[in-house]
Chain A
């Protein structure tokens, strides 16, 4: 069966096709998918696989010049035809105009969808040189992007006709604030970037996880050795017994999630066994022949079940299924409510939401060295190499220094790649077998087994005086945290702090609790529960404003936190609280929208338009915990400048932003700075890429490192102390190899000193916070981002459908180090917020793929306008704070407010699916 049965192919005996202009003969069987042939047989890994089912378009290539899904194309269907992949776009090493335009416009964030997008666009442009926006949307409709919100992709394709070239990198001293192209962008548009599944060594064994089909079950394993013996190519079956310390988890004191379930599976999709062996053997292995005996047990599903008195316990040591009870208390909320002129309250409900990054989890591991020098090396797609290293050390009972994490490019994370996925499995397998072991999750596996956004039930009550000043707030938020803790404690503490919204409220009583259920763990997802909370506080703000007859924007402005105000935790904001300015900048849009909408609604019966506003604040970095970053930048003896960054760029652009900061702080041009990122051997711990912290925390550390380097270079050149801070002195590294020199110029005078040794600058920054007291009082974050967004929607009263027409987003980012990246974060976040509001609802066991779980396509996104407000944060690098999560948080509240404005109906459950809205509108059910 292993020979190509070529005779079957008809007239031409061989299976030959042309790929990127050259003829190739293919040995794979004729029904092999073209995507697999390209990647596995021809090594063209620029073509990505996101779903293997036609649902994502990451695998799009051209077949005889037309875009097709290569994961649905049997290679024999391509015989004798021309296939073009992303690798075929650049001619003679020169980017095509299309690729150049993507690079210029920041159209690639993580880059995993980029090859598919480029191929779809190439097809369009070959037929229509100057397409309009509708044509672009139509042509790219088959490719999903979870990062960008599509707008920059559309702009890039539209701009191709003008023959764009990426702008030159900014000069020394002009990097911060420049719309610089991504420093690591070229590989993303050429298809050379290596993601988790792209660099797996040929000799690797593969690992396949066997997962529980039940939400809750106990199980017994039979004779697995016999299975290994009778199955050629299967080398080993891993069970719970094989794991040295079978528990992992985000918090140092909560290691509750087993790598492999031990006799009891607590969620559908939990790993029970791992098969390790030759790829073909484990892929064709029939799971039904495994001796696993499950006894299904009644699952605890949903908050009501988890909180019911006497409910069965998901974890034996967690009474009441309670994970954590967090809260903030300030003043006397109960008494204050009594004196309020207006009080409003509501109960709001959200669903599980899946990250749906286009790259499923993937990685490989090997054991390097022998005996006491043996180390475990793991190449993996991740957001947090250092945490992975430390967690792996716990699981494997190794010293952290014995674990070496080499992050691959990360095809989207959004919080979902903060928890370990394939790492402990491939790590354990490699350690035990001594061989290289790889694992790539399938899409359903990725969706069934990894974390989700916490479903929440939030009860919020606010009161204000007759002039509209908030006096009191009471919020009780309950979260379904799934079977294991993951980031649940973070959500339970972060939400009560943010539950007041970005407003001054003197009397506060808030609470956040997480409960265990028999679902996949709920973890970190852009905002750690704050988006769920914002839906509640913003709805209540609307209602209070309406009760008092105050304009909704005006009401928020009156209460907006500003410098000098104290937050719910008693923290006095000293600087950088730009919500007021965000609202002021939105005011003309708000007025315009209201006028346009009134005019539209006057002439419309079935369609109603509305405008809504949502505000948010977001503490940057870990809550009430130290979260330091160390960055290094060095000049080698031979004159090479390198930034060593442990901060992972998962598409959000931190590599570029940190390079910009390093350049201006050192006084060197951006283009001279090389980057080494993520590798835990080569870089220092910069902390996680989460909580919107990398620009703020690692950015500051980078600034300090670059200043340190500059100081050391000045010292090496015998410049007077202190002068390094004077940027009229122009620094350069000139010549290379033995001739490398430090050159310092000022006013026509030049100092030259040969570089005699490597010089390294280091910077460390830990934003000042203080732990919370019993009432939650303290300084949980050193800095806060603020934002306000306006959404304009159109509701079809007959169908109950909602279309978002336009979003205007005003964000106080302190300083936009790179406006392209900032806009990209806002737009991408906003579209995820749109999904949260209108489309996305993960149902465990039912929506485990991208045709049942639907994320926005290019056809679903509105026009988005970004307003960047820069109220500088003195602690941050050049005044910057973070923007990664804030983009998402105000969107759903703004959309819900707009629906209310359009229809008079306040939706309290998201997503607002059409049947829900239609029912709420009072249509016959």
Chain B
């Protein structure tokens, strides 16, 4: 068993202080929030930072405030996000996504910011060092080729965050702060379709805040597919947010998919719904479009063809729920949670 070696460990109290340390230490320093992703990854030697900068004591990252919509600090635990009445009331999709991450004890530690920055995953990667060495490593860490598709020039590791698709469908922006200043980016633009460089955040930047627009007229939802009733990373996530006219006509629609690409996939499948009511035909059409762009890879649980085949079903669940169908039984069956 690999023990974690010595690290420098900083526990600053403010974002400014943290940003200063990051700038000073350079890329060999990494942020640790809940640590539920970083600690196992360090143990498997995916990341070997020399210095850890903990965000746990930075109180300003744990606030929930009203802006034009809602601002959520990146340091909120997923449990805190789930228990926020404001999130539940206005951002159902986010609530449902956060509530389906891992297990209670990981949600108690894991943070919103950490979930958005979650490293991409792969069966050939999320293994201990000896295991990886036995296959002579892979492109993402210590090696040259990609075992998922040996001809691939890029790493195909899969984005596995649950909250990112939900937040993308809700039109969220995130604030990135460094000692140089701060910038705000649309969450959808935070990610790149590359298993290695999956995030455009610079190493010296701290994701401090998620801001959500006002949701008057919008409804949102998140559906997750996983093998078991707990624990597992998504093998498919479907987030949908729709703005309805009072007569039920769709005015705007965003559908984002998780776990079918190296980034959370913001699709155009929602466009086909605009100006229509959510009829079964319209839902099927959007489902088909989403399914076409989903590219599950053979690097996580369950058969890839099957995972692609069920995309339209899951989009169907999401849209039918937004239409107002009673989906409680289906929800219970799929996620074993009444969300």
Binding site for B on A (CB under 8 A): 1, 5, 8-11, 29-33, 36, 52-55, 57, 60, 63, 66-69, 72-74, 76-77, 79, 120, 123, 134, 137-139, 141-142, 211, 213-214, 268, 280, 283-284, 287-288, 440, 442, 444, 794, 796, 798-800, 803, 839, 845-846, 848-849, 851-852, 854, 856-860, 913-915, 918, 923-925
Within 8 A of A (CB), among B1-42: 1-13, 32, 34-36, 39-40, 42
Count, A-B residue pairs, CB within 8 A? 193
Name A36's closest neighbour in chain B (CB-CB). Answer: B3
**Separation in Å of the B81 CB from the closest CB of chain A?**
14
Q: Tell me which residues across on chain A come within 8 A of B13, comparing CB atoms.
A: 10-11
B residues near A, CB below 8 A?
1-13, 32, 34-36, 39-40, 42-43, 52, 54, 56-57, 79, 102-106, 108-109, 123, 126-131, 133-135, 227-233, 301-303, 305-306, 309-310, 313, 333, 336-338
Are B231 and A142 closer than 8 Å at their CB atoms?
yes
Q: What is the distance, in angstroms, from A280's C-beta to the closest C-beta of chain B?
A: 7
Task: Chain B residues near A74: list those with CB within 8 A.
Answer: 4, 9, 32, 35, 39, 52, 54
Is B333 in contact with A141, judged by CB distance below 8 angstroms? no
Partner pick for B9 among A1, A30, A73, CB 8 A cutoff: A30
- Nearest B residue (CB) for A1: B6
Chain B residues within an 8 Å CB radius of A846: 123
- For A5, the chain B residues whose CB sits under 8 A away are 6, 8-9
Partner of B104, one of A10, A120, A214, A440: A120
Do A57 and B103 touch (CB < 8 A)?
yes
Given contacts A142-B104, A915-B302, contact A10 B310 (CB under 8 A): no
Pair A57/B32 contact, Cβ less than 8 Å: no
Partner of B36, one of A11, A69, A268, A856: A69
The docked-state distance in angstroms from the alpha carbon of A53 to that of B1 is 11
CB pair B130–A213 under 8 Å, yes or no, is yes
The answer to whether B230 and A857 have CB atoms under 8 Å apart is yes
Shortest CB-to-CB span from B109 to chain A, Å, is 5
Which B-chain residue is minimally distant from A919 (CB atoms)? B306
A923 smallest CB distance to B (angstroms): 7
B103 and A142: CB pair below 8 A? yes
In the complex, what's the smallest C-beta–C-beta distance from B317 to chain A, in angstroms?
Answer: 10
Most buried by B among A8, A796, A803, A848: A8
Cα of A792 to Cα of B13 in the assembled complex, Å:
55
Set of chain B residues within 8 Å of A440, measured between Cβ atoms = 1
* Residues of chain A contacted by B313 (CB below 8 angstroms): 798-799
Nearest residue (CB) in B for A914 is B306
Some 5 contacts from A to B, beta carbons below 8 A apart, are A52-B1, A72-B40, A77-B56, A141-B230, A214-B134
- Contact between chains at B104 and A29 (CB < 8 Å): no
Q: Complex: how many Å from CA A212 to CA B115?
A: 36
Chain B positions within 8 Å of A53 at CB level: 40, 43
Give the residues in chain B near A9, CB-CB below 8 Å: 9-11
Q: Are A287 and B134 in contact (CB under 8 A)?
A: no
Say which residue of A67, A79, A213 sits within 8 Å of B105 (CB atoms).
A67
Contact call A800/B106, Cβ cutoff below 8 A: no
A33 and B38 CA atoms in complex are apart in Å by: 12
Q: A5-B8, A444-B127, A798-B313 are in contact. Are A73 and B229 (CB under 8 A)?
A: no
Q: Are A142 and B105 in contact (CB under 8 A)?
A: yes
Query: Given known contacts A66-B79, A800-B306, A857-B229, is B9 in contact with A142 (CB within 8 Å)?
Result: no
The smallest beta-carbon distance between B185 and chain A, in angstroms, is 28
Asked if A72 and B8 sit within 8 Å, CB to CB, the answer is no
> In angstroms, how far is the closest chain B Cβ from the Cβ of A273?
13
Q: Which residues of B contact A442 (CB under 8 A)?
A: 1, 128
Please judge, given known A-B contacts A67-B108, A283-B1, whether A79 and B11 are in contact too, CB under 8 Å: yes
CA distance A674 to B111 in the complex (A): 50
Determine whether the beta carbon of B306 is less than 8 Å from that of A444.
Answer: no
B149 CB, min distance to chain A CBs, angstroms: 16
The answer, among A32, A54, A213, A796, for a CB contact under 8 Å with B40, is A54
Instruction: Assess A138 versus B104: contact at CB under 8 Å? Given A73-B109, A280-B3.
Output: yes
Most buried by A among B13, B133, B231, B309: B231
Interface contact B128-A444, CB-CB below 8 Å: yes
Q: Does A915 contact B11, Cβ atoms closer than 8 Å? A: no
**7 nearest CB pairs, A to B:** A859-B229, A142-B103, A213-B134, A915-B306, A141-B230, A30-B9, A915-B303
Assuming A10-B10, A141-B230, A142-B106, is B128 touching A288 (CB within 8 A)? no
CA distance A288 to B103 in the complex (A): 36
Query: For B56, what are the chain A residues with a Cβ–Cβ distance below 8 Å?
Result: 77
Among A69, A72, A284, point to the contact of B3 (Cβ < 8 A). Answer: A284
**Cβ contact within 8 Å between A851 and B128:** no
- Among B4, B36, B127, B133, which residue has the most Cβ atoms of chain A within 10 A? B4
Known: A142-B231, A288-B133, A854-B227. A68 touches B10 (CB 8 A): no
Complex Cα distance A76/B229, Å? 32
Q: Are A72 and B39 in contact (CB under 8 A)?
A: yes
Contact A849 B8 (CB under 8 A): no
Do the beta carbons of A141 and B4 come within 8 Å of each other?
A: no
Query: What is the CB-to-nearest-CB distance from B25 to chain A, in angstroms, rounded to a whole number?
Result: 11
**Alpha-carbon distance A79/B13, docked complex (angstroms):** 14
Distance in angstroms from A687 CB to nearest chain B CB is 34
Chain B residues in 8 Å Cβ range of A139: 104
Q: A858: which B residues are within 8 A, CB to CB?
A: 229-230
Interfacial chain A residues near B126, Cβ < 8 Å: 851
Contacting B301 at CB < 8 Å: which of A31, A849, A854? A854
Other-chain contact of A859, B6, B9, B106, B336 (Cβ < 8 Å): B336
B4→A29 contact, CB < 8 A: yes
Q: Which of B43, B134, B232, B302 has the most CB of A within 10 A?
A: B134
Residues of B within 8 A of A57 (CB): 103, 105
In the bound assembly, the distance between CA atoms of A642 and B339 in angstroms comes to 54
Contacts of A120 in B (CB 8 A): 104-105
Contact partners of B39 in chain A: CB under 8 A? 31, 33, 72-74
B9 and A8 contacting across the interface, CB-CB below 8 Å: yes
Question: What's the nearest-Cβ distance from chain A to residue B325, in Å?
Answer: 13
Most chain B CB within 10 A, of A10, A63, A74, A924, is at A74
Say whether, besides A213-B133, A799-B310, A54 and B301 are in contact (CB < 8 Å): no
Having A120-B104, A857-B228, one finds 8 other A-B pairs with CB under 8 Å, namely: A5-B9, A36-B3, A63-B109, A69-B109, A76-B9, A213-B130, A859-B230, A913-B302
